[in-house]
């Protein structure tokens, strides 16, 4: 696990999460890029409001998908760490 549990991730300025009706998928609008999200990534990012910390995000996902928090934690960490490096998620 890389990210501290108390991190409160949010979309960086200039990044927009939206549903792309023309292609029936969730996307992130970023500078000169469109990132296509799979179902899990879309669920994670909808919870990155700047209010919830990592622990709360994982708990919320675990409840929504009836899964063990431990199974979700690594995926969330990997996704968010990558997006922080790309300056798509701010902390």
What is the end-to-end Cα distance of the chain in Å, rounded?
Answer: 16
**Minimum distance from CB of 20 to another protein (Å)?**
7
Binding mask 10-49 for another protein (x = CB under 8 A): --xxx-x-x-x-xx---x-x-xxxxxxxx-xx--------
Q: What is the spatial distance between Cα 17 and Cα 15, in angstroms, rounded to a whole number? A: 7
Interacting residues toward another protein by CB under 8 A: 12-14, 16, 18, 20, 22-23, 27, 29, 31-38, 40-41, 75, 78-79, 82-87
């Amino acid at each position: 696990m890389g990210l501290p549990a108390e991190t409160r991730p949010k979309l960086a300025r200039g990044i927009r999460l939206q549903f792309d009706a023309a292609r029936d998928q969730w996307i992130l609008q970023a500078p000169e890029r469109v990132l296509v999200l799979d179902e899990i990534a879309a669920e994670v990012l909808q919870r990155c409001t700047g209010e919830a910390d990592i622990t709360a995000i994982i708990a919320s996902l675990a409840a929504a998908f009836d899964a063990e928090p431990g199974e979700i934690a690594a995926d969330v960490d990997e996704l968010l760490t990558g997006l922080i490096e790309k300056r798509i998620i701010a902390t």
